[in-house]
A and B are shown apart, each in its own frame.
Chain A
């Protein structure tokens, strides 16, 4: 097991380097001269030259890449914002916890509400509870979350005047972003949990448990659910990645001062060092959460552990 943990952590470092490489390479092809964007239009030729030299923009691609990786991973320097002329890390430092919190709460609500609903639907298969829940879940997965967010703003902020529409500060500011962000997760988890539970209901060990006369509650809670939960935990990590991506659009709806909002502002002002670092930070969090989920998954699913011991290779990948 420890070997698996060490291997996965080492792999995380490689993934991060790879991610930085991909981000740098894509952004390398952004059209336009950085000097035009970063310097005022009155800048002289010499000033522009000095700017390009300082950032090493005249050097070949691989030198710039090496410099970027060195700055990011050895010096932990994410560059300087062209718009605000301050280190990007300063701006991101306040915003990271907010985005991270928003994503985490969203995922937790998605699991805490979606999973019980899925179980409820499965245990009442083809009855009205099941049909109602599944119709709602179907609608939930089909709605764009930013549109849901707009509808919530329309109803609760503009018509009813109950909640603030944008910004941050009080708990009330968090309610709508969290609801808008969790609906899709709740719906997805409910659907997944329902089919996973139904699959478990049909498996042999459940029949055995019933056959040996265990009370129905014991069959459900001790034998069925632990096994039905395993596939869900596996997809929670991927969900976090999706949620991190989703927050970018959500933050723009609520003008929520997180990393996603900063990313979009930076794109609009063509502040590319900030764009690069925001994406890297978000991808970093997604990768770390994915790793944690993978380790938890390996810990609770004896099949992974066994696989690893027998073959000596981690078969489970992020």
Chain B
């Protein structure tokens, strides 16, 4: 798929074969068509849509308020009244999970998309520039990435303090080097391609060559990476909250709920079983969709 659009355009003009209609050429529609034939990916996509809709319209779907305490229902085990039971102060766990999806999805989405955009902008530039810029740039990224992701996020959360925005910043800073690296590796290969030489020969400026010509051709792995990355960011955010550095209780964040429930693990295990399942299902849907997206974007990889 990578360079197909360019090659095809060149061939059509040179050979006089009639151009195909726009809907046949649209990469987006082609990808969508291939995706629709992949049951696992469609399952992931539908699951993801359901989770997103439930999270966005949380007040509609949640049977109770996520913060109102019902002292009669303290530690209530799952029942018809409270499907997933209640926590130590009688808050409905299902409702808290529904509201908690807002934290996980929004942080995952924002942190991951922003870090990938920054990664593509910088990675494409230093990969395309090559030479000394690439050397110095990659050395800086190497040092930046030498602190394992989780540790860097922990360090930043310690310094900035807990909270929504600070969690996003911690995730951003620890995710950016990976984005730079992968884009840079691809643009390093791509810069020798003929179509970029052609763009250079008609005197296109470097910005135009990099971001208008090259980036669209190397973006597919980044799109897949973003999808999968949201999943691992959601896990990291939950981990950060679990050790007390991310979103703080009483906010209904999934990791924070796990941290609060761990003291009651022996008597009331429902308090930690359901938040974990919520995380796993959300990440699973993202991974299924990401896997399908990779196959759809790169037919060569399709087995």
Q: Which residues does chain B contribute within 8 Å of A286, judged by CB atoms?
A: 146-148
Q: Mark B150-187, 1 if CB is under 8 A from A, else 0.
A: 11001110110100000000000000000000000000
**Partner-binding segment picked from B82-90, B197-205, B216-224, B262-270:** B262-270
> How far, in Å, is B108 (CB) from chain A's closest CB?
13
Quick check: A317 and B148 within 8 Å, CB to CB?
no
B238 and A141 contact, CB distance less than 8 A? no
Which B residues touch A15, using CB under 8 A?
142-143, 146
Specify which chain A residues have a CB less than 8 angstroms from the CB of B231 in the assembled complex: 142
Q: Are B279's CB and A138's CB within 8 A? A: no
Q: Flag whether A144 is at the interface (Cβ < 8 A).
A: yes
Is B239 a contact partner of A26 (Cβ separation < 8 A)? no
Total interface residues in chain B, CB < 8 Å: 45
Residues of B within 8 A of A89 (CB): none
Q: Which of A161-211 contact B (CB under 8 A)?
A: 195, 198-199
Question: A138-B287, A146-B239, A158-B265 known; A248 and B151 CB under 8 Å?
Answer: yes
For B265, give its contact among A29, A150, A249, A268 (CB under 8 Å): A150
In the complex, the answer to whether A22 meets B243 with C-beta atoms within 8 Å is: no
Query: Is B251 at the interface (CB under 8 A from chain A)?
Result: no
Please tell me if the beta carbons of A19 and B238 are within 8 angstroms of each other in the complex: no
Number of A-B residue pairs at CB separation under 8 A:
138
Is A248 in contact with B154, judged by CB distance below 8 angstroms?
A: yes
In the complex, chain A residues 116-172 whose Cβ is within 8 Å of any chain B Cβ: 125-126, 138-139, 141-144, 146-148, 150-151, 153-154, 158
Q: Are B150 and A248 in contact (CB under 8 A)?
A: yes
B267-303 vs A, Cβ < 8 Å mask (1 yes, 0 no): 0010011011001110110011001000000000101
B243 touches A279 (CB 8 A): no
Contact A147 B147, beta carbon cutoff 8 Å:
no
CB contacts (< 8 Å) of B275 on chain A: these are 147
Tell whether, in the assembled complex, residue B301 and residue A275 are in contact, meaning their CB atoms are under 8 Å apart.
Answer: no
A contacts, CB < 8 Å to B: 11, 14-16, 18-19, 21-23, 26-27, 29-31, 125-126, 138-139, 141-144, 146-148, 150-151, 153-154, 158, 195, 198-199, 241-242, 244-246, 248-249, 252-253, 263-264, 267-268, 275, 279, 282-283, 286-287, 317-318
24 A-B Cβ contacts within 8 A? A14-B139, A19-B147, A22-B144, A23-B147, A26-B156, A27-B155, A27-B158, A138-B291, A141-B287, A144-B280, A147-B276, A150-B265, A150-B272, A154-B273, A198-B303, A241-B148, A241-B149, A248-B150, A248-B154, A249-B239, A279-B155, A286-B147, A287-B146, A318-B142
